[in-house]
Amino acid sequence: MRVVVGRIGRAHGVRGELTVEVRTDDPEDRFAVGSVLLCTGRSDVPATVTVADARWHSGRLVMSLEGVSDRTAAEALRGTLLEADVDPVIGEDDEFHDLVLVGLEVRDRGGQVLGTVSEVMHLPGQDLLAVARSDGPELLVPFVTEFVPVVDVPAGFLLVELPDGLDELGRPDGEPRAQPGGTS
């Protein structure tokens, strides 16, 4: 899977260094010397670039690329998006890239489909899954094992265990959703 890890900013100095707007949680690995990054968003730049050097300067990532040796060449790359191939599972069994989660079907323990993940929200207290429902307003589910015990990416779904009443929040007149095989 490919993800955007950065965007090339303005040139830094006269020797071809450039600034990078970092869009990854792991810049030390993504921009390590020798890393090959895919260039997207523009047709007038090379398909890939190789990192020759990377360092932090005043809170910004400053990078040199192989074959870019002057300010003019660095400025010509400005605005280019940098992508990397990544494993959808980050390492632990319960760590996933947001792009893998968005679009997964959300089911309850009874197998009822509640909706699909439309967004992963990273808030200071915890992460939330925004679930788009066809029969009501968006549902926000804390992305913790207690409420999301199963994430099955290959099967395309995740299982939620919601506290009583959470699924009915925001529905007209607090109507509970229909139960499979009967009335509620």
**Would you say residue 44 lies in a domain?**
yes
pLDDT of 111 over the 50 cut: yes
What pLDDT does residue 91 have?
Answer: 52
Shared domain for 161 and 135, answered yes or no, is: yes
CATH number at residue 160: 2.30.30.240
Whether 34 is in a domain gets the answer yes
Instruction: Check pLDDT > 80 for residue 152.
Output: yes
pTM above 0.75, yes or no: no
Over the stretch 19-71, which tens digit does the pLDDT of each residue have? Answer: 999 988 789 999 999 999 999 888 888 899 999 999 999 999 999 999 999 99
Query: Which is nearest to 2 in space by CA: 30, 33, 32?
Result: 30
Q: Which domain holds residue 26?
A: 2-85
- Is 33 part of a structural domain of the chain? yes
One domain, residues 43 and 81: yes
Are residues 33 and 23 in contact, defined by beta-carbon separation less than 8 angstroms?
no
